[in-house]
């Protein structure tokens, strides 16, 4: 069973990526009570633009990440402006439609710019697996794990240790009460977009690194996983997104091992179905943001 | 209008379609006073509060605060100019402790040395003022009703308002809590706050208010001292008569 254990470890590490994707969806949903369906394409835009410095010169990984973050933040602000800012209060479903439109626009833009051909991604963490005792561990998965831990630590510090974080939590629970305490809801919304989009830049880079390429179907893939993780953990719960992401990662890797790779992508939706039927409040089930 | 008014309502109207929730209402809230707005249910009192705090835009008319028109401004900007508010139905942050509920409302102070420490101290001061110091680490759901109302007041005070709007602060309170509320309102006035409250509990209003305005069907039908209001036949007809009959 050594290999099943190895798959478990790999699944946990890769699950950090799912947790980050779910976390991005969850933070925005928690603060604004709106779905941003263009989040997957924000991640994809980050992954593609992060390649630009590589084409120009031998860019180091950190420069790629920063470029990806910058691009994703710009795309995120565009999404906020086009799809959220002018929607009146009380039209909760309107952004669902506007962001699906934006998802299509960004995807098409990338397809046209790259002739729909996937772009090979560098492997800045090396291709040789790391030997940890009896286990072989992929270095890029290890990098994903580190990225996950670092990002979530920063997010929780921001939410619970800063002035902006407490304003975010206040707006998430009662926007009208936050407002009467002098918090600008619009400012919190825009900064939430900046935060989640920066996270999208990080996700885009690590997702493309661990897959080995940036492909135009990435947004679709990422959106599917993100929504599954979000519901799996419990809508609006950040700890839930972490648990949901790790669970999905492990289950996918075990399914690949025991059932074969073709079952991997259908598994997410089977789990989603089961959770919705038997535990609709999600695995963690408390509504905290 | 007058120098003594902290808040001036001028020909204010707010209509919802054909419903005139507030119509052509004018009055001044004198600085440093305790001013009460009374009227039967649905007479437009909370709508008026919502217009003053920017939650609703006025259909017509203006609100002048501290000499500057504030109608049309976003709520957070109005709050920063010095208006605080509590809600009729309590709206605390249930996922935060008592301390954090107040702390959320703390604005950035001009840096004068140890900023973070004095911020904590100010929260503690407000909790002491509202008698909640012993409950500082409790979750909101563990507070009784009166404590929750006091916490809402503490939170509103954290924005350092010069004008405090209280929407039915006595609703659901027993006699002991009511006595405490009267004391608290007077103490806030001594601290230099102007108090503007909506209230149904008649003896509280008559006891504590300096001036009273009466709304009925969105229009002001009377304004004056508690004595004048109690003697006003229009008020008795619209409101007090029924209230007294029930009592």
pLDDT (tens digit, 9 = 90+) per residue, B191-234? 999 999 999 888 889 999 999 999 998 999 989 999 999 888 88
**Å between B197 CA and nearest CA of chain A:** 16
Q: Which of B102, B101, B141, B148 is nearest to B125 (CA)?
A: B102
Indicate whether A27 belongs to any domain.
Answer: yes
Of the two residues A118 and A71, the one the predictor is more confident about is A71
The answer to whether residue B43 scores a pLDDT higher than 60 is yes
Contacts of A169 in chain B (CB under 8 A): 93, 95-96, 104
Residue B88 CA to residue B247 CA, distance in Å, equals: 22
Say whether B76 and A183 touch across the interface (CB within 8 A): yes
Of the two residues A235 and A79, the one the predictor is more confident about is A79
Whether this prediction's pTM lies above 0.90 is answered by: no
Residue A219 CA to residue A222 CA, distance in Å, equals: 5
Retrieve residue B182's tokens.
């009267």
What's the pLDDT band for A260 if we cut at 50, 70, 90? confident
The answer to whether residue B139 scores a pLDDT higher than 90 is yes
Residue ranges of domains in chain B, CATH in brackets: 1-82+196-247 (3.40.50.300)
Nearest C-alpha in B relative to A181: B105
What's the pLDDT band for A267 if we cut at 50, 70, 90? confident
Size of interface A-B (CB pairs under 8 A): 57
Say whether A163 and B55 touch across the interface (CB within 8 A): no
Length of chain A: 289
Per-residue model confidence (pLDDT) at position A205 = 96
Retrieve residue B42's tokens.
């649905």
Q: Contact, B182 vs B208, CB < 8 A?
A: yes
Indicate whether A288 belongs to any domain.
Answer: no
Per-residue model confidence (pLDDT) at position A89 = 76
Indicate whether A136 belongs to any domain.
Answer: yes
Dump pLDDT digits (tens) for A67-109.
Answer: 999 999 999 999 999 999 988 877 888 999 999 999 999 999 9
Helix axes A2-32, A39-49, angle to 10 degrees: 110
Q: Contact, A91 vs A32, CB < 8 A?
A: no
Of B80, B105, B141, B151, which to mutate for an interface test with A (greatest number of A Cβ within 10 Å)?
B105
- Smallest Cβ distance to A176: which of B55, B104, B155? B55
Per-residue model confidence (pLDDT) at position A226 = 93
Per-residue model confidence (pLDDT) at position A285 = 65
Alpha-helical segments (H) within chain B: 45-52, 75-81, 98-103, 115-129, 145-157, 175-190, 202-208, 226-231, 233-235, 241-246
Query: What integer is the mean pLDDT of A101-120?
Result: 92
Of the two residues A91 and B84, the one the predictor is more confident about is B84
Q: Are β-strands B19-30 and B5-16 bridged in parallel, bridged antiparallel, or unpaired?
A: antiparallel
Q: How many domains does chain A have?
A: 1
How many percent of chain B have pLDDT more than 90?
A: 64
Residue A168 CA to residue A170 CA, distance in Å, equals: 5
Q: Which of B41, B78, B71 is nearest to B57 (CA)?
A: B71
Residue B150 CA to residue B155 CA, distance in Å, equals: 9
Strand partners, B224: B212
Q: Which residues of A touch B (CB under 8 A)?
A: 163, 166-167, 169-170, 173-174, 176-186, 288
Residue B152 CA to residue B138 CA, distance in Å, equals: 15
Angle formed at CA B218 by CA A179 and CA B229, multiple of 5 degrees: 105
Alpha-helical segments (H) within A51-162: 52-56, 61-79, 94-114, 139-161
Indicate whether A286 belongs to any domain.
Answer: no
Q: Contact, A287 vs A235, CB < 8 A?
A: yes
Dump pLDDT digits (tens) for A201-234.
Answer: 999 999 999 989 999 999 999 999 999 999 888 8
Dump pLDDT digits (tens) for B233-246.
Answer: 888 887 655 555 44
Indicate whether A195 belongs to any domain.
Answer: yes
Look up the CATH number of the domain holding residue A221: 1.10.3470
| Phi/psi of residue A200, nearest 5 degrees | -60, -40
Per-residue model confidence (pLDDT) at position B243 = 53
The ipTM estimated for the assembled molecules is 0.83
Of A30, A85, A163, A177, which to mutate for an interface test with B (greatest number of B Cβ within 10 Å)?
A177
Say whether A180 and B75 touch across the interface (CB within 8 A): yes
The answer to whether residue A286 scores a pLDDT higher than 70 is no
Residue A198 CA to residue A201 CA, distance in Å, equals: 5
Q: Contact, B229 vs B214, CB < 8 A?
A: yes
Per-residue model confidence (pLDDT) at position A259 = 84
The answer to whether residue A145 scores a pLDDT higher than 70 is yes
Q: Which of A88, A189, A178 is nearest to B57 (CA)?
A: A88
Per-residue model confidence (pLDDT) at position A195 = 97
Instruction: Say if B55 is an interface residue toward chain A (CB within 8 Å).
Output: yes
Indicate whether A283 belongs to any domain.
Answer: no
Per-residue model confidence (pLDDT) at position B88 = 86
Retrieve residue A212's tokens.
């080995």
Residue B11: its H or E element = strand B5-16
Per-residue model confidence (pLDDT) at position A289 = 40
Say whether B92 and A181 touch across the interface (CB within 8 A): no
Dump pLDDT digits (tens) for A3-45.
Answer: 888 889 889 999 999 999 999 999 999 998 889 999 999 999 9
Contacts of A286 in chain B (CB under 8 A): none
Indicate whether A90 belongs to any domain.
Answer: yes
Instruction: Say if B95 is an interface residue toward chain A (CB within 8 Å).
Output: yes
What's the pLDDT band for A249 if we cut at 50, 70, 90? very high
Q: Which domain holds residue A71?
A: 2-278
How many percent of chain B have pLDDT more than 70?
A: 91
- Mean of the per-residue pLDDT values for chain A? 90
- Smallest Cβ distance to A179: which of B75, B92, B94? B75
Retrieve residue A34's tokens.
């709106």
Per-residue model confidence (pLDDT) at position A179 = 93
Indicate whether A289 belongs to any domain.
Answer: no
Q: Which of A211, A259, A251 is nearest to A229 (CA)?
A: A251
Per-residue model confidence (pLDDT) at position A264 = 80
């Amino acid at each position: 069973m050594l290999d099943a254990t190895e798959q478990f470890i790999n699944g946990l590490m890769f699950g950090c990526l799912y947790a980050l994707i779910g976390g991005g969806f969850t933070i925005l949903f928690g603060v604004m009570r709106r779905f941003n369906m263009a989040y997957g394409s924000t991640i994809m835009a980050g992954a593609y633009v992060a390649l630009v410095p590589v084409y120009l010169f031998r860019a180091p990984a950190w420069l790629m990440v920063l470029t990806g973050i910058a691009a994703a933040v710009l795309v995120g602000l565009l999404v906020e402006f086009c799809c959220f800012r002018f929607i009146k209060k009380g039209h909760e479903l309107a952004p669902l439609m506007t962001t699906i439109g934006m998802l299509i626009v960004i995807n098409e833009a990338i397809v046209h710019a790259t002739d729909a051909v996937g772009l090979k991604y560098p492997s800045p963490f090396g291709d040789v697996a790391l030997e940890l005792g009896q286990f072989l561990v992929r270095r890029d998965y290890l990098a994903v794990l580190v990225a996950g831990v670092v990002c979530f630590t920063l997010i929780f510090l921001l939410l619970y240790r800063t002035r902006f974080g407490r304003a975010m939590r206040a707006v998430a629970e009662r926007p009208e009460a936050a407002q009467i305490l002098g918090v600008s809801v619009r400012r919190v919304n825009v900064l939430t977009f900046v935060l989640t989009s920066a996270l999208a830049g990080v996700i885009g880079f690590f997702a493309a690194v661990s897959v080995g390429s940036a492909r135009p179907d990435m947004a679709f893939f990422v959106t599917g996983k993100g929504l599954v993780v979000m519901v799996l953990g419990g809508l609006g719960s950040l700890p839930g997104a972490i648990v949901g992401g790790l669970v999905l990662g492990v289950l996918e890797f075990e399914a690949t091992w025991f059932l074969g790779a073709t079952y991997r992508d259908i598994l997410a939706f089977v789990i989603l179905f089961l959770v919705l039927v038997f535990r609709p409040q999600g695995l963690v089930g408390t509504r905290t943001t | 209008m007058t120098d003594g008014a902290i808040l001036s309502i001028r020909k204010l109207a707010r209509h919802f379609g054909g419903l005139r929730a507030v119509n052509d209402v004018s009055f001044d809230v004198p600085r440093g006073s305790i001013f009460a707005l009374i009227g039967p249910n649905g007479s437009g009192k909370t709508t008026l509060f919502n217009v003053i705090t920017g939650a609703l835009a006025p259909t017509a008319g203006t609100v002048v605060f501290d000499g500057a028109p504030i109608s049309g401004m976003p709520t957070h900007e109005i709050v920063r100019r010095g208006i605080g508010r509590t809600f009729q139905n309590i709206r605390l942050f249930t996922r935060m402790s008592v301390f954090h509920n107040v702390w959320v409302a703390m604005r950035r102070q001009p840096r004068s040395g140890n900023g973070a420490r004095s911020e904590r101290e100010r929260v503690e001061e407000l909790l002491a003022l509202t008698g909640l110091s012993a409950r500082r680490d409790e979750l909101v759901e563990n507070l009784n009703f009166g404590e929750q109302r006091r916490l809402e007041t503490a939170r509103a005070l954290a924005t350092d308002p010069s004008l405090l709007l209280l929407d039915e602060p006595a609703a659901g309170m027993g006699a002991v809590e009511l006595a405490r509320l009267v004391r608290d309102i007077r103490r806030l006035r001594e601290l230099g706050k102007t108090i503007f409250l909506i209230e149904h509990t008649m003896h509280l209003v008559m006891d504590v208010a300096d001036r009273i305005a009466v709304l009925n069907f969105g229009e002001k039908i009377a304004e004056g001292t508690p004595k004048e209001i109690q003697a006003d036949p229009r008020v008795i007809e619209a409101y007090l008569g029924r209230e007294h009959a029930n009592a």
